[in-house]
């Protein structure tokens, strides 16, 4: 029984080695299981192209600005109005007579206050004095520079002992799949 088992195992081992040797004899590294053929890549060199690249960039700087805050000063407008009202009231009181004296005094005070305020404003009491400050102002500018980019690859490969050159959009590595069309020659 032992000899039969040993004989069977030996036969299987010999048959297996013989079958794999047969399969290896017909296998070629240029062929894939799908029937696609491959060529050996001898050289692959990138082709560069210079490209202008525009990128937006924000640029900020401090700019001097003028603020117009209205009237400034030492209050001469109010003082002028008060003095004008007093002087106008006295003058109105002097020229008014009887019951009209009160009306003349009041009218003189109103006219005097208006004139006094105007005089005080013109003499520096209510002059506009702008103030100054700085504000950050930003704007977007386009900044351009040039870059080298790969545009493709010049590839040299060998198929069936012949050397070919081609240009590809990718780096093929060490093997390049090739299409082989076999057709009868016409006479």
- DSSP per-residue codes, 90-102: HHHHHH--TTHHH
* Structure confidence at residue 132 (pLDDT): 86
The two tokens of residue 175 are 């093997």
CA 176 to mean position of chain CA atoms: 40
Pairing status of strand 175-178 against strand 131-159: unpaired
pLDDT category, 9, cuts 50, 70, 90?
A: very low
Beta-carbon neighbour count of residue 85 at 10 Å? 21
Q: What integer is the mean pLDDT of 45-69?
A: 91
Top-confidence range, 74-78, 127-131, 148-152: 148-152
Instruction: Give the pLDDT score at 26.
Output: 42
Tell me the β-bridge partners of 51.
147
pLDDT of residue 164: 96
Residues in the chain, total = 187
pTM for the model: 0.39
> Do 131 and 106 meet the contact criterion of CB atoms below 8 Å apart?
no
pLDDT value at residue 40 = 96
Of 72 and 173, the structure prediction assigns the larger pLDDT to 173
Give 145's pLDDT tier (boundaries 50, 70, 90): very high
């Amino acid at each position: 029984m032992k000899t039969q088992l040993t004989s069977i195992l030996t036969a299987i081992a010999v048959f297996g080695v013989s079958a794999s040797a047969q399969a290896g004899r017909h296998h070629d590294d240029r062929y894939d299981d799908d029937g696609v053929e491959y060529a050996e890549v001898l050289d692959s060199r990138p082709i560069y192209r210079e490209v202008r690249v525009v990128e937006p960039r924000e640029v900020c700087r401090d700019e001097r600005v003028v603020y117009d805050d209205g009237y400034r000063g030492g209050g001469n407008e109010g003082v002028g109005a008060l003095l004008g009202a007093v002087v106008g009231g006295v003058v109105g009181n002097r020229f008014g007579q009887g019951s009209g004296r009160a009306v003349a005094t009041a009218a003189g005070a109103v006219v005097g206050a208006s004139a006094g305020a105007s005089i005080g404003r013109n003499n520096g009491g209510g002059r506009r004095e702008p103030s100054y400050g700085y504000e950050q102002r930003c704007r977007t500018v386009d900044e351009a520079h040039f870059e080298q980019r790969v545009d493709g690859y010049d590839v040299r490969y060998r198929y069936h002992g012949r050397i070919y050159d081609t240009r590809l959009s990718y780096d093929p590595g060490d093997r390049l799949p090739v299409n082989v069309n076999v057709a009868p020659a016409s006479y």
